Structure 1
Amino acid sequence: MKVAKFGGSSVASAEQFRKVAGIIQSDQQRRIIVVSAPGKRYKADTKVTDLLIRLAEAVMRGNEYDSLIEAVVERYADIARGLELQASEVIEQMKADLQQKIAAYHDDHLRLLDALKASGEDHNARLMAFYLRSLGMEARYVSPREAGIFVTDEPGNAQILQDSYEKLSKLKQCSNIVVIPGFFGYSLTGHIVTFPRGGSDITGSIVAAGAGADVYENFTDVDSIYCVNPSMVENPRQLREITYREMRELSYSGFSVFHDEALEPVYKAGIPVCVKNTNNPEAPGTWIVAKRDHRNVPVAGIASDTGFCSVNVSKYLMNREIGFGRKLLQILEDEGISYEHAPSGIDNMSVILRANQLQGEKEQRIMDRIQTELKVDEIHIEYGLALIMVVGEGMERAVGVAAKATAAFAQAQINIEMINQGSSEVSMMFGVKEEAVNKAVRALYDAYFAPVYAQKE
């Protein structure tokens, strides 16, 4: 049995709905379907989720919002017309549902935002089930509540409750096709609560683990996962296999193909994931598995992200001061700031964090507290930092992986601001100036993957 999740671009139009139906019909093992809200039909288009956020904001501000309801409902009506469906009753139910949610949560803004955002996936799942039935398939819509997806009551940041997996196991007994909306679950008090943005991947993974699927298929708009962002490197190498740990590291570091929280349920359940293309379903895709053969390709991929800064602190004999690091991080915690990395030496320590967390007076307040409470010799904040992650489980046993990176940077005349490597040796992190990040990624790609191509040729 397979669980197949279709992303926003896969369900954005009538044409895409037809492709999804063809994929489902082509394999009887695809019995549980998870769908996102309709994404962009073309580059300048607006995702339905973004329309719903605008709707919520208009309600919160007390502005007119009827036109926004019409815009949302029209997206589904356009799909129904393109599929030649007699779905006027379904469309009217969507409009009534939006109005009911607005009335119920008008004065509770966090609940309102969650309820409206979730309706994008919910309405699309209902329409998909309706369409599949029109084609003669035994398909039915199942809400997350009926399926058993119960979550913590944290609006916008739901976490699955462990009891849900036992409830989801009953989906194995379904003989027909089940269509479940992604992105949200229900709290024990009955409220709709969404996962973090991109959370339809999380739903798919949870459902696959709970139902005991043999495979979790994640359909998107690319043939496979690439070892590097294709916008940075022309025709990069496609990955046929990658491990859960490698994918997790790359997702965290900027890969947008797979939500970084989505792998945990299938990883724990040992369910392989196949990332495939809705527009080219015959392509083999990329398998995410527990182990891969990394003898010839120790590095799986290179990811990068911008918008970081480094809080750099120096104090003579810092290494002898018990609790110094804890006190420094406590100051950041007191200010509600999370950090990414904290490399240190005997007399210095740097804390890497998202620069947008130091807005307003917070930056000066933090610097003042560090100076006053820790009595440091020097403190300064360096902005405009990009982080590049080189990821691969084979690096642990391969000689010279780090040397290749530093040599590539030297040859490209790129200054390394920071290097950090975890004890597991699954990844190496480099900090460079933002303006050099594209050049740096291309240099690393040439160092790690060009020789592999040369050997194959």
Structure 2
Amino acid sequence: MKVAKFGGSSVANATQIKKVGEIINSDPERKFIVVSAPGKRNDNDFKMTDMLINMGNAYIQDESYEEYYSIVMERFKEIIEGLDLPSSLIAEVEHTIKSTLVQDVDDNLKMDSIKALGEDNNAKIISAYLKELGLTAHYINPKEAGILLSDEPGNAQILPESFAKLYSLREKDGILVIPGFFGYSNDGKLVTFSRGGSDITGSIVAAGVEASLYENFTDVNSVYSVNPTIVDNPKEITVLTYKEMRELSYAGFSVFHDEALIPAIKAKIPVCIKNTNNPEAKGTLILAERELNGQCVSGIASDTGFCSLYVSKYLMNREVGFGRKLLNILEDEGISFEHAPSGIDDMSVIIRESQFTPETEETVIMRINEELHPDTVSLQRGIAVIMVVGEGLVNTIGVAQQATSAFAKANVNIEMINQGSSEVSMMFGVQAIDMDKAIRSLYNAFFD
């Protein structure tokens, strides 16, 4: 039994959904189908979830929401009519949206229910279309499926008891179409994952039903070894390990939400990334282990939007608890950190800039000075993180030298190196303005 998850671009309109129908019909092992909300039909289009959020915010703030509502309904109507489905389905979607808007719950829960309308209605539409194709298909609500989540609107986490409940879906007949992105708390509240959470649902369902394969259909033939907007015609990656994909997705690879693979990883379910528009392409297979073919680096990923908090104090290494106290200050201010490389007299903490507002910066630096009495404390913004990723890194001599030489050749200064904390990656911090040329030089070093 396979689980197939179709992303927003794969279900953006009737034309795309017809392709989805052909893909499902072509393989009887595709029993569990997880769908996203309609995505962009072109570069200038909108995502359904974004429009639903606009509608929800306007309704909750008692502002005019009718324009957003009309756009949402017109989009669903266009899909339903394009698939030649009964008009009664349009009325059903309309009723669902209106009843969600007027439900008597607090604003956070109401917003979660509104955000989930894209996935929920799309799953009903796709299930109806599969029936029109002559397939035995059923829409399965996440509550019926057994997707139980923590009571954290907008950032819910899967509860362990979900997996046993999901396993019972194997006994149901036909194709089961499940909306992604949301589930229910133990007391019946609809709650959503963070954005991109349909990938998480797909991975959870795959783990729960113990699928033979989890297929994630998107709009690319495979994962590329580097961002194709930075390097022309980069090499495709045919096989990756879970660890490699996790590192790559963290550092800006947009194929997967960076939490998405965790349930599949734990259950050791193989994952294959496929292209809805070219389903015959081999795609990228993600496994627990893979054979090393002499190429130690699998991919190069990057992301901007970081800052580096630098603290220096003579004999820091002899001061018991210094690092803990520094991180406690960040915890008190509600800031999580990404990396924390250190030396004997200094320590850097890499933080997402979005967490570090000017007000927070002032408070944190004041507390560090007052409580830790450092020699130096400073914050550097505009940092990009570059990850060189590959299972062969730990056992290959000279990789770090190759990488640093590539930075030197590109005339890019390395602000920070973090190597050794992961067996499959090396992390470099550079100025964001230097990121693209550094990546091109690294690609030439490792792939050309």
The two structures share one fold, judged by TM-score above 0.5: yes
Q: Deviations over 1:16-51 (max 9, x none)?
A: 011000001101111110000000001111110001
Which runs of structure 2 are paired with 1:19-418 in the superposition (5 Å)? 19-86=19-86, 88-105=87-104, 108-418=106-416
> Which residues of structure 2 form unaligned runs of 5+?
none
Provide closer, same or farther for how the CA distance between residues 353 and 423 of structure 1 changes in structure 2, counting only shifts above 3 A. Answer: closer
Q: Separation in 2 of the partners of 1:283 and 1:184?
A: 30
In structure 2, how many angstroms separate the alpha carbons of the residues matched to 1:365 and 1:267?
A: 39
- C-alpha deviations, 1:278-322, integer Å up to 9, x for none? 000000000000111224111111110111111111111111100
Asked whether 1:11 is paired with 2:16, we answer no
What secondary structure does 2:382 align onto?
A: strand
Tell me how far apart the structure 2 counterparts of residues 365 and 259 of structure 1 sit (CA, whole Å).
32
CA deviations over 1:226-281 (Å, ceiling 9, x no partner)? 01111011000100000001000111111110111111111111110010000000
- Does the 8 Å CA contact 2:312/2:376 hold for their aligned counterparts? yes
**Which structure 1 residue ranges, 5 or more long, are not aligned?**
451-457
**CA 1:424–1:304: 2 relative to 1, 3 Å:** closer
Q: How far apart are the structure 2 equivalents of 1:135 and 1:431? A: 52
* Conservation of the 8 A alpha-carbon contact between 1:386 and 1:433: yes
- Displacement of 1:220 in angstroms is 0.2
Aligned equivalents of 1:309 and 1:8: distance in 2?
32
User: Is residue 9–residue 218 contact of structure 2 (8 Å, CA) maintained in 1?
Assistant: yes
Q: Partners in 1 of 2:301 and 2:337 — Cα distance? A: 18
How far residue 425 of structure 1 moved from its aligned partner, in angstroms, is 2.3
The offset of 1:91, in angstroms, is 1.5
Matched residue SS, 1:361: helix
Alignment size in residue pairs: 448
**Residues 1:433 and 1:360: Cα distance change in structure 2 (over 3 Å):** closer
In structure 2, give the amino acid aligned to 1:276: K
Runs of 4+ off more than 4 Å: none
Measured after TM superposition, the shift of residue 174 of structure 1 is 2.1
CA distance in 1, matches of 2:350, 2:161: 37
The aligned amino acid for 1:284 is K
Following superposition, the deviation at residue 173 of structure 1 comes to: 1.4
Residue 255 of structure 1: SS of its match in structure 2?
Answer: coil
Shift of the alpha carbon at 1:151?
0.6
**What amino acid is the match of 1:135?**
L
Q: Secondary structure at the match of 2:274?
A: strand
* One-letter amino acid of the structure 1 residue matched with residue 159 of structure 2: L
SS in 2 for 1:212: coil
Partner deviation per Cα, 1:314-346 (whole Å, 9 max, x = no partner): 111111100000000111110001111111111
AA matched with 1:155: P
Query: Counterparts of 2:175 and 2:288 in 1: how far apart (Å)?
Result: 28
Structure 2 CA distance, aligned partners of 1:29 and 1:39? Answer: 26
CA contact (8 A) 1:295 1:394 kept: no
Distance 2:99 2:181 in 1: 20
Aligned-partner Cα distance in 2 for 1:407–1:416: 11
Supply the AA of the counterpart residue of 1:42. Answer: N
Q: The residue matched to 2:233 in structure 1 has which SS? A: coil
The TM-score with structure 1 as length reference comes to 0.97
Q: Report the residue type matching 2:34 in the other structure.
A: V
CA shift for structure 1 position 66: 2.2
CA RMSD of aligned residues (A): 1.0
Which whole-Å CA distance do the structure 1 matches of 2:49 and 2:70 have between them?
14
- The answer to whether the 8 A contact 2:217-2:273 is kept is yes
- Residue-by-residue CA offset, 1:188-218 (whole Å, 9 max, x unaligned): 1111110111111110011011111100000
Percent identical: 58
Q: What letter matches 1:104 in structure 2?
A: Q
Residues 80 and 89 of structure 2 are in contact (CA less than 8 Å); yes or no, is this contact kept in structure 1?
Answer: no
